[in-house]
Structure 1
Amino acid sequence: MTKPITPQRVNLVTLGVADLKRAEAFYAALGWHPHGEQPGVVFYRMAGQGMALGLFGLADLAEDQGRKGAALGTGAVTLAQNFPDRGSVDAAFDLAVSAGATSLKRPEEVFWGGYSGYYADPDGHVWELAHNPFWTVNDDGTLTIPDPE
Protein backbone atom coordinates (compact mmCIF):
# COMPACT_ATOMS: atom_id res chain seq x y z
CA MET A 1 0.00 0.00 0.00
CA THR A 2 1.37 3.42 -0.89
CA LYS A 3 1.45 6.24 1.59
CA PRO A 4 -1.29 8.84 0.95
CA ILE A 5 -0.14 12.23 -0.32
CA THR A 6 -2.26 13.95 2.31
CA PRO A 7 -3.04 12.52 5.75
CA GLN A 8 -6.48 10.96 6.22
CA ARG A 9 -7.80 13.46 8.74
CA VAL A 10 -9.83 16.59 9.33
CA ASN A 11 -8.67 18.83 12.15
CA LEU A 12 -10.76 21.96 11.56
CA VAL A 13 -14.31 22.39 10.31
CA THR A 14 -15.35 25.98 9.62
CA LEU A 15 -19.00 26.98 9.34
CA GLY A 16 -19.98 30.16 7.51
CA VAL A 17 -22.54 32.10 9.55
CA ALA A 18 -24.71 35.10 8.68
CA ASP A 19 -24.58 36.61 12.17
CA LEU A 20 -21.55 35.67 14.26
CA LYS A 21 -23.00 36.92 17.56
CA ARG A 22 -26.23 34.94 17.00
CA ALA A 23 -24.22 31.82 16.17
CA GLU A 24 -22.05 32.28 19.28
CA ALA A 25 -25.19 32.65 21.41
CA PHE A 26 -26.69 29.44 19.95
CA TYR A 27 -23.58 27.36 20.66
CA ALA A 28 -23.25 28.95 24.12
CA ALA A 29 -26.81 27.78 24.86
CA LEU A 30 -25.59 24.25 24.04
CA GLY A 31 -22.86 24.69 26.65
CA TRP A 32 -20.00 25.29 24.22
CA HIS A 33 -17.18 27.64 25.25
CA PRO A 34 -15.04 29.52 22.70
CA HIS A 35 -11.34 28.83 22.87
CA GLY A 36 -10.07 31.64 20.72
CA GLU A 37 -11.37 34.50 18.66
CA GLN A 38 -10.00 36.58 15.84
CA PRO A 39 -11.87 39.35 14.04
CA GLY A 40 -14.83 37.62 12.37
CA VAL A 41 -13.94 34.08 13.58
CA VAL A 42 -14.64 32.10 16.76
CA PHE A 43 -12.98 28.75 17.53
CA TYR A 44 -14.08 25.87 19.75
CA ARG A 45 -11.90 22.95 20.81
CA MET A 46 -13.63 19.63 20.19
CA ALA A 47 -13.50 16.62 22.49
CA GLY A 48 -10.33 14.58 22.26
CA GLN A 49 -7.17 15.97 20.77
CA GLY A 50 -6.45 18.14 17.79
CA MET A 51 -9.92 18.98 16.43
CA ALA A 52 -11.64 22.35 16.30
CA LEU A 53 -14.80 23.96 14.97
CA GLY A 54 -14.75 27.52 13.70
CA LEU A 55 -17.56 30.01 13.10
CA PHE A 56 -16.68 32.54 10.39
CA GLY A 57 -18.80 35.41 9.09
CA LEU A 58 -20.04 34.55 5.58
CA ALA A 59 -18.64 37.64 3.84
CA ASP A 60 -15.27 37.26 5.55
CA LEU A 61 -15.20 33.53 4.74
CA ALA A 62 -15.94 34.18 1.06
CA GLU A 63 -13.14 36.74 0.92
CA ASP A 64 -10.75 34.36 2.74
CA GLN A 65 -11.56 31.70 0.11
CA GLY A 66 -10.74 34.16 -2.68
CA ARG A 67 -14.41 34.53 -3.63
CA LYS A 68 -15.16 38.04 -2.37
CA GLY A 69 -18.84 38.89 -2.81
CA ALA A 70 -19.87 35.25 -3.41
CA ALA A 71 -23.09 34.01 -1.85
CA LEU A 72 -22.03 31.00 0.21
CA GLY A 73 -24.52 28.29 1.17
CA THR A 74 -24.36 25.49 3.69
CA GLY A 75 -23.61 22.71 1.20
CA ALA A 76 -24.62 19.06 1.41
CA VAL A 77 -22.79 18.35 4.65
CA THR A 78 -23.91 16.81 7.92
CA LEU A 79 -21.94 17.30 11.11
CA ALA A 80 -22.48 14.59 13.70
CA GLN A 81 -22.19 14.02 17.41
CA ASN A 82 -22.28 10.49 18.76
CA PHE A 83 -23.52 9.70 22.26
CA PRO A 84 -23.17 6.66 24.51
CA ASP A 85 -26.94 6.08 24.81
CA ARG A 86 -30.34 7.07 23.42
CA GLY A 87 -31.27 9.23 26.42
CA SER A 88 -28.24 11.44 25.79
CA VAL A 89 -29.28 11.82 22.14
CA ASP A 90 -32.79 12.91 23.19
CA ALA A 91 -31.45 15.37 25.80
CA ALA A 92 -28.98 16.96 23.34
CA PHE A 93 -31.67 17.22 20.67
CA ASP A 94 -34.14 18.89 23.03
CA LEU A 95 -31.46 21.32 24.21
CA ALA A 96 -30.58 22.30 20.63
CA VAL A 97 -34.22 22.91 19.71
CA SER A 98 -34.77 24.96 22.88
CA ALA A 99 -31.68 27.02 21.95
CA GLY A 100 -33.12 27.91 18.54
CA ALA A 101 -32.33 24.96 16.27
CA THR A 102 -34.90 23.78 13.72
CA SER A 103 -35.99 20.19 14.20
CA LEU A 104 -35.53 18.26 10.97
CA LYS A 105 -36.15 14.74 12.31
CA ARG A 106 -36.73 13.83 15.94
CA PRO A 107 -34.44 11.05 17.16
CA GLU A 108 -35.75 7.59 16.27
CA GLU A 109 -34.58 4.06 15.57
CA VAL A 110 -32.89 3.94 12.18
CA PHE A 111 -32.35 1.28 9.52
CA TRP A 112 -28.70 0.60 10.38
CA GLY A 113 -29.52 -0.45 13.96
CA GLY A 114 -28.84 2.82 15.74
CA TYR A 115 -30.82 5.80 16.96
CA SER A 116 -30.51 9.29 15.49
CA GLY A 117 -32.15 12.61 14.73
CA TYR A 118 -31.29 15.79 12.86
CA TYR A 119 -31.55 19.51 13.48
CA ALA A 120 -30.37 22.64 11.67
CA ASP A 121 -28.58 25.39 13.57
CA PRO A 122 -29.75 29.01 13.04
CA ASP A 123 -27.62 29.26 9.88
CA GLY A 124 -28.98 26.01 8.42
CA HIS A 125 -25.97 23.80 9.19
CA VAL A 126 -27.28 20.29 9.72
CA TRP A 127 -26.28 18.26 12.77
CA GLU A 128 -27.00 14.59 13.36
CA LEU A 129 -27.17 13.39 16.95
CA ALA A 130 -26.74 9.63 17.15
CA HIS A 131 -26.21 6.57 19.27
CA ASN A 132 -24.42 3.82 17.35
CA PRO A 133 -24.49 0.60 19.38
CA PHE A 134 -21.61 -0.76 17.27
CA TRP A 135 -19.18 2.03 18.20
CA THR A 136 -17.76 3.11 21.56
CA VAL A 137 -17.93 6.72 22.69
CA ASN A 138 -14.92 7.15 24.98
CA ASP A 139 -14.94 9.26 28.14
CA ASP A 140 -13.20 12.11 26.27
CA GLY A 141 -15.86 12.09 23.52
CA THR A 142 -13.70 10.42 20.89
CA LEU A 143 -14.96 7.38 19.00
CA THR A 144 -13.60 3.90 18.76
CA ILE A 145 -14.80 2.32 15.54
CA PRO A 146 -14.13 -1.43 15.49
CA ASP A 147 -12.02 -2.96 12.75
CA PRO A 148 -14.02 -4.73 10.03
CA GLU A 149 -14.32 -8.47 10.48
Structure 2
Amino acid sequence: MTLPRQRISLVTLGVDDLARARAFYAALGWREAEVTDGMACFQLHGQALMLFGRDALAEDQGRAGADLGTGALTLAQNFSTREDVDAVFAEALAAGATTLKAPEAVFWGGYSGYYADPDGHVWEVAHNPFWPLADDGSLTLPVESSDPA
Protein backbone atom coordinates (compact mmCIF):
# COMPACT_ATOMS: atom_id res chain seq x y z
CA MET A 1 0.00 0.00 0.00
CA THR A 2 1.27 3.45 -0.91
CA LEU A 3 0.62 6.02 1.80
CA PRO A 4 -0.09 9.64 0.82
CA ARG A 5 3.11 11.42 1.77
CA GLN A 6 2.51 14.91 0.40
CA ARG A 7 0.17 16.20 3.08
CA ILE A 8 0.03 17.86 6.47
CA SER A 9 -2.46 16.47 8.98
CA LEU A 10 -1.80 18.72 11.96
CA VAL A 11 -0.03 22.02 12.60
CA THR A 12 0.93 22.56 16.25
CA LEU A 13 1.74 26.02 17.55
CA GLY A 14 3.64 26.33 20.82
CA VAL A 15 2.08 29.10 22.91
CA ASP A 16 3.12 30.84 26.13
CA ASP A 17 -0.40 31.34 27.47
CA LEU A 18 -3.00 28.81 26.29
CA ALA A 19 -5.97 30.81 27.58
CA ARG A 20 -4.79 33.94 25.75
CA ALA A 21 -4.16 31.98 22.54
CA ARG A 22 -7.58 30.32 22.74
CA ALA A 23 -9.21 33.71 23.25
CA PHE A 24 -7.36 35.16 20.24
CA TYR A 25 -8.48 32.43 17.84
CA ALA A 26 -12.02 32.49 19.29
CA ALA A 27 -12.12 36.24 18.57
CA LEU A 28 -11.32 35.40 14.94
CA GLY A 29 -14.39 33.17 14.89
CA TRP A 30 -12.52 29.87 15.08
CA ARG A 31 -14.36 27.10 16.94
CA GLU A 32 -12.53 24.61 19.09
CA ALA A 33 -13.11 20.97 18.23
CA GLU A 34 -11.30 19.53 21.25
CA VAL A 35 -9.88 20.96 24.45
CA THR A 36 -7.95 19.05 27.08
CA ASP A 37 -5.59 20.11 29.83
CA GLY A 38 -2.72 21.88 28.10
CA MET A 39 -3.97 21.94 24.50
CA ALA A 40 -6.79 23.03 22.20
CA CYS A 41 -7.57 21.84 18.65
CA PHE A 42 -9.41 23.50 15.80
CA GLN A 43 -10.73 21.48 12.85
CA LEU A 44 -9.62 22.96 9.53
CA HIS A 45 -10.30 21.83 5.95
CA GLY A 46 -8.86 18.31 6.02
CA GLN A 47 -6.41 19.05 8.82
CA ALA A 48 -6.26 20.50 12.30
CA LEU A 49 -4.50 23.29 14.17
CA MET A 50 -3.39 22.60 17.75
CA LEU A 51 -2.37 25.10 20.40
CA PHE A 52 -0.01 23.51 22.92
CA GLY A 53 1.94 25.07 25.78
CA ARG A 54 5.42 25.94 24.48
CA ASP A 55 7.29 24.27 27.37
CA ALA A 56 5.14 21.14 27.13
CA LEU A 57 5.73 21.04 23.38
CA ALA A 58 9.51 21.21 23.88
CA GLU A 59 9.28 18.35 26.35
CA ASP A 60 7.06 16.33 24.01
CA GLN A 61 9.63 16.81 21.24
CA GLY A 62 12.39 15.50 23.52
CA ARG A 63 13.89 18.99 23.90
CA ALA A 64 12.85 19.90 27.45
CA GLY A 65 14.02 23.39 28.37
CA ALA A 66 14.69 24.37 24.74
CA ASP A 67 13.68 27.83 23.56
CA LEU A 68 11.45 26.91 20.63
CA GLY A 69 10.75 30.47 19.50
CA THR A 70 8.47 30.62 16.48
CA GLY A 71 10.95 29.58 13.78
CA ALA A 72 11.09 30.67 10.17
CA LEU A 73 7.52 29.75 9.37
CA THR A 74 4.51 31.53 7.91
CA LEU A 75 0.98 30.20 8.12
CA ALA A 76 -1.21 31.55 5.34
CA GLN A 77 -4.86 32.00 4.51
CA ASN A 78 -5.91 32.83 0.97
CA PHE A 79 -9.10 34.73 0.18
CA SER A 80 -11.12 35.35 -2.97
CA THR A 81 -10.91 39.15 -2.88
CA ARG A 82 -8.70 41.97 -1.64
CA GLU A 83 -11.65 43.21 0.42
CA ASP A 84 -11.77 39.87 2.23
CA VAL A 85 -8.04 40.18 2.99
CA ASP A 86 -8.58 43.66 4.44
CA ALA A 87 -11.55 42.50 6.55
CA VAL A 88 -9.74 39.47 8.00
CA PHE A 89 -6.61 41.55 8.67
CA ALA A 90 -8.67 44.14 10.58
CA GLU A 91 -10.41 41.36 12.51
CA ALA A 92 -7.05 39.87 13.54
CA LEU A 93 -5.81 43.27 14.77
CA ALA A 94 -9.01 43.78 16.76
CA ALA A 95 -8.46 40.36 18.34
CA GLY A 96 -4.95 41.30 19.50
CA ALA A 97 -2.65 40.60 16.54
CA THR A 98 0.33 42.83 15.75
CA THR A 99 0.79 44.30 12.27
CA LEU A 100 3.94 43.13 10.53
CA LYS A 101 3.00 44.40 7.06
CA ALA A 102 -0.36 45.92 6.18
CA PRO A 103 -2.07 44.37 3.14
CA GLU A 104 -0.84 45.80 -0.13
CA ALA A 105 -0.37 44.92 -3.80
CA VAL A 106 2.72 42.70 -4.09
CA PHE A 107 5.31 42.01 -6.77
CA TRP A 108 3.89 38.62 -7.80
CA GLY A 109 0.56 40.14 -8.84
CA GLY A 110 -1.46 39.48 -5.72
CA TYR A 111 -2.37 41.31 -2.54
CA SER A 112 -1.17 40.32 0.93
CA GLY A 113 -0.32 41.37 4.45
CA TYR A 114 1.23 39.80 7.53
CA TYR A 115 0.37 39.85 11.21
CA ALA A 116 1.69 38.07 14.30
CA ASP A 117 -0.62 36.38 16.77
CA PRO A 118 -0.09 37.10 20.49
CA ASP A 119 2.63 34.40 20.64
CA GLY A 120 4.50 35.76 17.62
CA HIS A 121 3.33 33.16 15.08
CA VAL A 122 3.29 34.82 11.67
CA TRP A 123 0.14 34.69 9.53
CA GLU A 124 -0.16 35.89 5.95
CA VAL A 125 -3.57 36.84 4.57
CA ALA A 126 -3.56 36.98 0.79
CA HIS A 127 -5.51 37.20 -2.43
CA ASN A 128 -3.78 35.34 -5.25
CA PRO A 129 -5.63 35.84 -8.55
CA PHE A 130 -3.68 32.93 -10.04
CA TRP A 131 -4.91 30.40 -7.44
CA PRO A 132 -8.72 30.39 -7.44
CA LEU A 133 -10.40 29.02 -4.31
CA ALA A 134 -13.28 26.57 -4.10
CA ASP A 135 -16.54 27.78 -2.54
CA ASP A 136 -15.45 26.27 0.80
CA GLY A 137 -12.16 28.22 0.71
CA SER A 138 -9.98 25.21 -0.10
CA LEU A 139 -7.02 25.63 -2.42
CA THR A 140 -5.95 23.29 -5.19
CA LEU A 141 -2.84 24.47 -6.99
CA PRO A 142 -3.07 24.66 -10.78
CA VAL A 143 -1.36 21.69 -12.41
CA GLU A 144 1.52 22.63 -14.65
CA SER A 145 3.18 20.35 -17.12
CA SER A 146 6.87 20.24 -16.36
CA ASP A 147 9.87 18.22 -17.36
CA PRO A 148 11.93 17.37 -14.24
CA ALA A 149 15.09 16.95 -16.28
Query: What band does the TM-score fall into relative to the shorter chain?
Result: over 0.9
The two structures have a TM-score, normalised by structure 2, of: 0.92
CA shift in 2, pair 1:94/1:42, >3 Å: same
Q: CA RMSD in A?
A: 1.6
Aligned residues: 145
Report the AA paired with residue 79 of structure 1.
Answer: L
Report the AA paired with residue 66 of structure 1.
Answer: G
Structure 1 residues 17-73: Cα deviation after superposition (integer angstroms, max 9, x where no partner): 000000000000000010002221100011x3x210000001110111111122210
CA shift in 2, pair 1:139/1:5, >3 Å: closer
Q: How does 1:114-129 map to 2 (within 5 A)?
A: 114-129=110-125
Structure 1 residue 27 corresponds to structure 2 residue 29: no
Structure 1 residue 111 corresponds to structure 2 residue 102: no
Give 1:141 shift.
Answer: 1.6
| Identity in percent | 64
Partners of 1:33 and 1:145 in 2: CA distance:
27
Partners of 1:147 and 1:87 in 2: CA distance:
27
- Partner residue of 2:66? 70
Structure 1 residues 49-107: Cα deviation after superposition (integer angstroms, max 9, x where no partner): x2100000011101111111222100000000000000000000000011100000010
Partners of 2:105 and 2:35 in 1: CA distance:
38
Runs of 4+ with deviation above 6 angstroms = none
Unaligned runs of 5+ in 2: none
Report the AA paired with residue 130 of structure 1.
Answer: A
Unaligned runs of 5+ in 1: none
